Amino acid sequence: MHLPPKNKFYQPFILLLLAGIIFIVLSFFDSSFKIGELKFKAFSFLNDIKVDSINKVIHYESTNPSNSNTSKGRDTYVEFSADSGKGLLHFFEALDLLSNGKKKKVRIAYFGDSMIEDDYITQDLRNQLQVMFGGAGVGFLPVTSINAEDRQTIKQTFSSNWKVCELDEVLTHPTGISGKTFIPAWSSGRSNNSWVKFQFLDENRLNDFHQADLFYGKSEGLQTIQVNKIPFVLNGKNAVNRLEFDKPKTSDSYYVTFKADHSLDVFGFNFDSETGIFLDNYSFSGKNGMNLSALPDSVLAGLNNYLNYDLIVLQFGINVLDTKLSNFNWYEMGMCDVVNHFRKSFPNSSILIVSAGDRGIKKNGKWTSNPEIPDLIAAQQNYARKKSCGFWNLYSAMGGYESMAKSWAGAVPALANKDYTHFNREGSKKIASILFDDLISEYNLYKNNFPK
């Protein structure tokens, strides 16, 4: 006689329970991992239900249309992790040393997309910081720029025979920190001069060249330049080399001519003063920021040996909305990689994440906010938290839901363009002022909590 088979209906439920436990355990790990040749991405099974203290940064109430007109009490909030030694702690310590005459220079590298192109936002933030902490000069500049005539912080012209190698191209030359490397025209046995001219402006802190530097790669053969007709020989042996110029005695400009019989990698110029705070603008228009992890370690670290950055700012995200993807875990993971990459080359620098701002879309004939923005900002907040970075909520600083349409592009006079994405000059100045106020507020908090 055969016994009836045992009922095994419970077994699928046991398997599901075990799988759920595994997912929950894995959700507490922030890193990706590999098994053999297979790479598994970091993920969070509980991402939508976990609650932590930094959530006050997002202020999700502002995504409710009924709260969209609030202009007081915006929670822009700059978070820094004093207990971890990361966040903005190093930057604030550097400001303190500068203020007390124990440090000569504090320097910021501000990376961003088209929101900071042509020195938007950064020119006004730089000016306010220099008014408070001292310093003059526009900082780091690429050799050429298609938007050079639109920049209001320096006058720059150049010859048309420069070759430009960009980060997203097939790399035959190491890419500079700006995402570009500039190669002057060269030819064995004859001169094919490339040139660039920088002229200062008749404005406070921009009306003189106190100090000037050229940064370039390894040089081969005969490499010479003339700066205002004064010759210099380039004999760089490192990944990044610096040539310091004397201040022009009678001219209001630098005219630099390159003469080379071999290819030469030129990364850019730097203009600053002997002491103070300096902010360098690195705009990657149209990018989401993840490609920054492809910048060569040797170039970043080599440049940092000379410039010693105290703060790295990363302002990206708005271009991620063009991907039509509502889940931003992939972006969070990619930007974690960028932060890791930067910390290799800038081990002592603080890092500040600036979130995406409001972006308008037209729906039923009305401009409203892109509905994916809160999820994007949550992803940016998450990687800032995971990597102990500072975090500043640009979306909240603008006023939250539908603020681009109502308070910026729709303002009279307008503070943003009619693409309902980019600030104009006046809007950029206002954003810079809000960011400056919040940074100084956090700096004062640091001084109160860590008295010397």
| Residues paired with residue 282 on neighbouring β-strands, in sequence order | 111
Residue 83 has pLDDT above 70, yes or no: no
Is the separation of the CB atoms in 290 and 337 below 8 Å? yes
Residue 49 has pLDDT above 50, yes or no: no
pLDDT digits (tens, 9 = 90+) for 387-424: 999 999 999 999 999 999 999 999 999 999 999 999 99
Q: pLDDT grade, residue 310 (50/70/90)?
A: very high
SS3 labels along the chain: CCCCCCCCCCHHHHHHHHHHHHHHHHCCCCCCEEECCEEECCCCCCCCCCCCHHHHHCCHHHHCHHHCCCCCCCCCCCECCCCCCCCCHHHHHHHHHHHCCCCCEEEEEEEECHHHHHHCCHHHHHHHHHHHHCCCCCEEECCCCCCHHHCCCCEEEECCCCEEEECCCCCCCCCCCCCEEEECCCCCCCCCCEEEEEECCCCCCCCCCCEEEEEECCCCCCEEEEECCEEEECCCCCCCEEEEECCCCCCCEEEEEEEECCCCCEEEEEEECCCEEEEEEEECCCCCCHHHHHCCHHHHHHHHHHHCCCEEEEECCHHHHHHCCCCCHHHHHHHHHHHHHHHHHCCCCEEEEECCCCCEEEECCEEEECCCHHHHHHHHHHHHHHCCCEEECHHHHHCCCCHHHHHHCCCCCCCECCCCCCECHHHHHHHHHHHHHHHHHHHHHHHHHCCC
Is the separation of the CB atoms in 54 and 79 below 8 Å? yes
| Contacting residues for 383 by C-beta, under 8 A, at least 6 apart | 332, 333, 335, 336, 339, 353, 389
Could you tell me the pTM of the whole model? 0.83
| Contacting residues for 300 by C-beta, under 8 A, at least 6 apart | 177, 342, 344, 345, 346
Q: How much is the pLDDT for 252?
A: 83
Tell me: cis bond preceding 413? Omega within 30 of 0 counts.
yes
Q: pLDDT grade, residue 250 (50/70/90)?
A: low
Q: How much is the pLDDT for 128?
A: 98
Q: How much is the pLDDT for 20?
A: 59
Mean of the per-residue pLDDT values of the chain: 83
Residue 179 has pLDDT above 70, yes or no: yes
pLDDT digits (tens, 9 = 90+) for 5-15: 555 555 655 66
Average pLDDT for residues 76-92, to the nearest whole number? 70
Percent pLDDT > 90 in the chain is 63
Percent pLDDT > 70 in the chain is 77
Nearest to 112 by CA among 402, 447, 429, 422: 422
pLDDT digits (tens, 9 = 90+) for 372-389: 999 999 999 999 999 999
Residue 359 has pLDDT above 80, yes or no: yes
Q: How much is the pLDDT for 37?
A: 39
| Residues paired with residue 216 on neighbouring β-strands, in sequence order | 241, 266
pLDDT digits (tens, 9 = 90+) for 144-155: 998 888 888 889
Q: How much is the pLDDT for 71?
A: 33
pLDDT digits (tens, 9 = 90+) for 105-147: 999 999 999 999 999 999 999 999 999 999 999 999 999 998 8
